Structure 1
Amino acid sequence: MTKLNDRLTMLKELTDAKGISGNEKEAREVMKKYISAYATEVYTDHLGSLIAKKVGKEDGPKVMVAGHLDEIGFMVTRIDDNGFLYFQTIGGWWSQVMLAQRVTIQTSKGDITGIIGSKPPHIMPAEARKKPYEIKDMFIDIGAASREEAESFGVRPGDSVIPYFEFTQMKNEKLLLAKAWDNRIGCAIAIEVLKQLKDVEHPNVVYGVGTVQEEVGLRGAKTATNTIKPDIGFAVDTGIAGDTPGISPKEADSKLGDGPQIILYDASMISHKGVRDFVVKTAETNDIPFQYANIAGGGTDSGSIHLTANGVPALSITIATRYIHSHAAMIHQDDFDHAVQLIVEVIKGLDADKVKEITFN
């Protein structure tokens, strides 16, 4: 593998880190490692979300930029007499992307490798081959011959199970393939925003946040926002790319490399018009490419951010991503760069008067 530059090394470490919902410690430590140098203060809330505070002006408007630390995965629920593991999905999975995929189980004795078992087609009736295999019937094979042997490996019910995939730079080096882009790319954006604001004067207090448990109900965003009490909130996340075969423009029309997505609507919120208009104007003024998108069947942390206390004007800015909620997904580096540039320019354009104008637009 070609030697990675500093940014790609950060992205590799973020995506390689294991961190399903409810067990985000490893991912949080990686984000803390990279964001601490650019923050005035770094701390966590009581649920485990990471909060990095960067002061421009101490009494200035509070601006929250939040990616979520957690990724989808599984939790061990039962070990049968033959040493096979049964599991609960954590986050949204489609059964057809799961069979015969490698996973890592985090045990009390260290990580062990498993595979989600599947029947050979040779012994399946023709009709059975046409039907999706139900998740409730799936199991994980760790090479144990009995429950006792599986337990001797350190496996217990409640253990986290993480998809396994190696970070890969494609032949087109702008494209990156990895597990957990949803949503370590949001965490990377938060890190890079604070980095680019390090020596920039602005009259705001910026919070780069890595929230927990987004995939199971936007939970960490609730506690983190309540801790920060921001004046403006941005969720930075992955969005749907529509540039692969089988997806119609009616379903999704965003393309990798055409700029960050400004989410108009999702199942958890309607974007705040004042914030949205200001972000669009900032993008147009600075010639930053962007795309409009909506996500009728899912939500982002903005869904919790905007309902905190007496309300927080909020917007989701996302990165078009192929193959999310599977073992591996693909992003375009230009979209990452332009998302960071857009958020930095937005923050530079904010002050108390502008926040007041936006809030009541």
Structure 2
Amino acid sequence: MINWNFLQELCSIPGVSGEEKGVRDRIFCELQPFEDVSLHITPLGCLAAKKKGKQRAAVSVLLCAPMDEPGFLVSRICDDGTVKLTPVGSISGQALCGRPVTVCTADGELPGVLGAKPVHLLTAEERGKPVPAGDLYLDIGALNKEEAGRAVCPGDRVVFASPWNLSADMAFGRSLASRAACAALTALLSRDLDFDLTAAFTAQGETGGGGLMTVVHDIQPDVVICVGGVKASLPDEEDGGCMLGKGPSVHFMDSRMIYDSRLFRGVLETARRLGIPCQERTAVNGNGSAGRAAAQTGARTLALGIPVRYPGVPVSMMAKQDLESTVRLLEAVCREIAGGSF
């Protein structure tokens, strides 16, 4: 059901907000062979895919997944050859010093390492605390400003250089929170569907959801379902909102709005009826991207989360069965909504 090699490719492609082209092109190539899928790239860089089903949908559904990932922007080159960075998106500063990164320049990719203020220069208050992501710098081995300036420029994106691994039950990799959602939508679009369906792979999700808002405004759907990774409970955490291995997480609200109650109940009931693993998210958080989408057109809205441990750090972790269950649930829910059941 899930093409894990495809997901590995997506996770390996740099795609900090505003530079999602590589990810978009790979998804485009994956969907292009399907004659019943029409593709359109928006001016902001989102990819809209319209799938022709066996019947016309009575209620139009739009599925959205972000393509971008958290990372850094090169902001300033210092006299000593180090490079100041600006964080993009939700990045945890825990244990990032010394991490390898990849700098995406106009001339190609360049290796580097994240650095921070030396221990002997830290104040008593700073010692023992994680280094804030905004205090990290990039070291590419340049000896002075001129040498560094020949290699990097302000605005270059920087991503973690992280490994990819699959075990029997888990996937480990960079940017799983967004790319797993993209893989789920791609898998769904490759199936024969009962009703027409539109999916959007959106840009700039880490910086306010601008791509998602423009796509919803352009397409004007009746229902919007936003799919993306959501923080899962850690082993010693009593209530982190959702758990690995229990299926996708259905949200009843986020930080900006309460979701459509009929959709919320309908998704849970569909999952129970079909025996698809699914869980209610017990924590109220999130950046409100789905809420902003609804505000654009008045569409009924819901968010469906794929549980991911350690989002915003170099390597995240996801249960393989949760992604498989997400695809199954999305197919069933879209069929019910498009047919007018809820």
TM-score, length basis structure 2: 0.93
Quick check: 1:270 aligned with 2:258? yes
Structure 1 pair 300–24 and aligned structure 2 pair: CA distance change class (3 A): farther
Per-residue CA deviations over 1:108-155 (Å, capped at 9, x if unaligned) read: 1111011111456578677643233344432110011112111222x1
One of 218, 229, 232 as aligned partner of 2:223: 232
- The amino acid across from 2:229 in the alignment is T
**CA spacing shift, 1:264–1:228, aligned 2, 3 Å:** same
Correspondent of 1:48 among 39, 45, 50: 45
Cα distance change on mapping 1:347 and 1:125 into 2, 3 Å: closer
Alpha-carbon distance between aligned partners in 2 of 1:135 and 1:339, rounded to the nearest angstrom: 32
CA contact (8 A) 2:174 2:315 kept: yes
Letter of the 1:350 partner, please give it. Answer: I
Asked if the contact 1:20/1:70 (under 8 Å) is kept, the reply is yes
* In structure 2, C-alpha distance between the alignment counterparts of 1:63 and 1:227, rounded to whole Å: 13
- Quickly say closer, same or farther: Cα 1:85–1:14, change in 2 above 3 A: same
Summarize the Cα distance change of 1:234–1:127 in structure 2 as closer, same or farther, 3 Å threshold.
Answer: closer
| 1:168-207 superposed Cα distances (whole Å, 9 cap, x missing partner) | 113xx210100001211111111111122x2x3x2x3211
Q: How many Å separate the matches in 1 of 2:103 and 2:57?
A: 46
The C-alpha deviation readout for 1:87-120, integer Å capped at 9, x for no partner, is 1110122322422111111111111011111456
Find the residue that maps to 1:89 and give its secondary structure.
Answer: strand
How far is 1:159 from its partner? Answer: 0.7
RMSD of the alignment, in Å? 2.1
Number of the residue aligned with 1:34: 30
Tell me by how many angstroms 1:253 deviates.
Answer: 4.6
Cα deviation digits, residues 237-256 of structure 1 (max 9, x gap): 111211422x222xx15221
Aligned to 1:289: 277
Aligned partners of 1:226, 1:127: CA distance in 2, in Å?
48
The amino acid across from 2:334 in the alignment is I
Matched, 1:320 2:311: no
1:89–1:276: structure 2 CA closer, same or farther, 3 Å change rule? same
* Helix, strand or coil at the partner of 1:306: helix
**Counterpart amino acid of residue 209 in structure 1:** A
Residue aligning to 2:157: 160
Distance in 2 between residues matched to 1:351 and 1:296, nearest whole Å: 28
CA drift of 1:283 comes to: 0.7
State the secondary structure of the residue aligned to 1:95.
Answer: coil
Flag the 1:136–1:238 CA change in 2: closer, same or farther, 3 A. closer
- Once the 2 structures are TM-superposed, how far is the Cα of residue 316 of structure 1 from its aligned partner? 0.8
Change (3 A) 1:19 1:127: same
Q: Secondary structure at the match of 1:238?
A: strand
Whole-Å separation in 1 of the counterparts to 2:95 and 2:258 = 31
Q: Are the equivalent residues in 1 in contact too, given 2:63–2:198 (CA < 8 A)?
A: yes
d(CA) in 2 for partners of 1:337, 1:113 = 34
CA distance 1:295–1:307, change in 2 (3 Å):
farther
Give the direction of change, closer, same or farther, for the CA distance of 1:151–1:346 in structure 2 (3 Å limit).
same
Structure 1: gaps of 5 or more residues = none
The AA in structure 2 aligned to 1:248 is: E
Q: Give the one of 107, 110, 114 matched to 2:105.
A: 107
**Cα distance change of structure 1 residues 221 and 128 upon mapping to structure 2, 3 Å threshold:** closer
Pair 1:349-2:340 in alignment: no
Cα offset, 1:264, TM superposition: 1.4
* Pick aligned residue for 1:178 from 169, 173, 177: 173
Mapped pair 1:302 → 2:290: yes
In the TM superposition, what are the counterparts of 1:1-361 in structure 2 within 5 Å? 7-38=3-34, 39-56=36-53, 57-58=55-56, 60-118=58-116, 121=119, 128-153=126-151, 155-170=152-167, 173-196=168-191, 198=192, 200=193, 202=194, 204-245=195-236, 247-249=237-239, 252-299=240-287, 301-309=289-297, 311-351=298-338, 353-354=340-341, 358=342
1:32 maps to amino acid: F
Distance 1:50 1:315 in 2: 20
* In 2, Cα distance between equivalents of 1:294 and 1:218: 23
**Distance change >3 Å, CA 12–CA 284, structure 1 → 2:** same
Query: How many residues end up aligned between the 2 structures?
Result: 340
Range that drifts further, 210-219 or 30-39: 30-39
How far apart, in 1, do the equivalents of 2:42 and 2:296 lie? 15
Residues 158 and 125 from structure 1, CA distance in 2 versus in 1: closer, same or farther, beyond 3 angstroms?
Answer: closer
Aligned 8 A contact 1:222 1:305 in 2: yes
Residues 76 and 154 in structure 2, CA contact (< 8 A), matched pair in contact too:
yes
Shift of 1:81: 1.4
State the distance in 2 between where 1:42 and 1:136 align: 38
Q: Which amino acid aligns with 2:205?
A: E
